Amino acid sequence: MLEAGILILEDFNFSPVSLDSLTSQRSKELGRQLEGWLSAADLSHGPARAIIAPHAGYQYCGACEAYAYRQISPVVVQRVFILGPSHHVRLAGCALSSATKYRTPLYDLKIDMQIYAELESTGHFERMNMTVDEDEHSIEMHLPYIAKVMEDYKDKFTIVPILVGSLSPEKEALYGRILAKYLADPQNLIVVSSDFCHWGQRFRYTFHERSWGQIYQSIEALDRKGMDIIETLNPSAFTEYLKKYGNTICGRHPIGVLLQAASYLIKEGDLNGQKLSMKFLQYAQSNQCCNMSDSSVSYASAALVFE
């Protein structure tokens, strides 16, 4: 729902409801739930310059997602880029929101119009219409976690939501080069929104390597192969992995853009003596599949740090 340039978002589960039904008490409950998950997660690979985290309903991935958000140091972050895959429209490139702020159950998140102008000046970004913005959950599901982690600095940061289309490897490299300078800036945080394997007949993906064990074990082994490659920050190797196995990682293109940005900084030597280190911190599945009638979605959380 659009109101004077404000995109009013819905509840953060699989049964969206109007914001009008979100009482103050319910907002407090959401805040407490997020805080509980964050408190249970270890701070082991921070401060994060970028994270990879899932975007399903919190009852499925909220605890896993917390491991990525726990690595953020809110005191240094002034901008949060959110790269989410497009689930509902075909995009050959990347698109920016038409709103000026996102209204969440916790508080409003302001979109950085200056950064939007910089991105638009490259000629490689279009604007998504409000219907697309409202329908797309891959960005929306991260907003409460961002709001919670940045709560003490809520008037001191902006967000930069970017919807990522079905990019070729060449376009992933293009957008990686564009975003590399923002990744290099310690005042920026990049959030990459992605679930991992979508397994089952309803997803038209039933890969099972029996030598890896039962179906759910095969799924995890497959996901971890991809996670290991992502940790190497090698975009070409990740592309080859996807070609070989066809793993249904919905955020493969946002991940590809992040890998390309990191790879560009490494090649250009723009790191001031620092090294980049990507590490996966948590993994979960919505269901343990044991037969062909089962289905599941995998979730993984990672953090990229400059050491």
128-138: per-residue pLDDT in tens?
877 777 776 78
The predicted model gives 155-184 an average pLDDT of 97
Helix, strand or coil for residue 70? coil
DSSP 201: G
The b/e string for 43-56 (b: 16+ C-beta within 10 A; e otherwise) is eebebbbbbbbbbb
Structure pTM? 0.92
Residue-range definition of the domain harbouring residue 248 = 44-306
| Cβ–Cβ < 8 Å for 108, 101 | yes
In total, how many domains does the chain have? 1
Is residue 264 a part of any domain in this protein?
A: yes
Alpha helices, H only, 58-207:
58-69, 113-120, 130-135, 137-140, 143-149, 169-184
The predicted model gives 78-93 an average pLDDT of 90
pLDDT value of residue 128: 87
Is residue 16 a part of any domain in this protein?
A: no
Neighbour tally for 299: CB within 10 Å: 25
Q: How confident is the model at residue 14 (pLDDT cuts 50, 70, 90)?
A: very low
Is residue 239 a part of any domain in this protein?
A: yes
Is residue 21 a part of any domain in this protein?
A: no
**Helices and strands, number each (H, E), in the chain:** 10, 13
47-66: per-residue pLDDT in tens?
999 999 999 889 999 999 99
Q: What percent of the chain has pLDDT over 90?
A: 79
| Cβ–Cβ < 8 Å for 49, 186 | yes
Per-residue CA distances from 166 to 149, 245, 254 (Å): 30, 18, 9
CB proximity list for 64: less than 8 A, separation 6 or greater: 53, 54, 282, 283, 284, 299, 300, 301
- Would the pLDDT of 15 be above 50? no
- Would the pLDDT of 199 be above 60? yes
244-278: per-residue pLDDT in tens?
999 999 999 999 999 999 999 999 887 888 999 99
Q: What is the mean pLDDT of the chain?
A: 91
Per-residue CA distances from 246 to 184, 206, 243, 260 (Å): 31, 10, 6, 20
Element (H, E) at 37: helix 24-40
Q: How confident is the model at residue 20 (pLDDT cuts 50, 70, 90)?
A: very low
Q: How confident is the model at residue 19 (pLDDT cuts 50, 70, 90)?
A: very low
Q: How confident is the model at residue 5 (pLDDT cuts 50, 70, 90)?
A: low
Ramachandran region, residue 172 (left: φ > 0; alpha: ψ -120 to 50; beta: rest): alpha
Q: How confident is the model at residue 167 (pLDDT cuts 50, 70, 90)?
A: very high
Is residue 9 a part of any domain in this protein?
A: no
Q: What percent of the chain has pLDDT over 70?
A: 91
Is residue 258 a part of any domain in this protein?
A: yes
Distance of CA 135 to the CA centre of its chain: 16
What is the chain's length? 307
Q: Give the residue with greater pLDDT, 129 vs 161.
A: 161
pLDDT value of residue 6: 57
CA dist., res. 168 & res. 265, Å (int): 20
The predicted model gives 26-50 an average pLDDT of 94
Is residue 184 a part of any domain in this protein?
A: yes
Is residue 240 a part of any domain in this protein?
A: yes
pLDDT value of residue 180: 98
Which CATH number belongs to the domain containing residue 262 in this structure? 3.40.830.10
Sheet of 101-103, strand order: 2-3, 6-8, 101-103, 108-110
- What amino acid is encoded at 21 in this protein? S
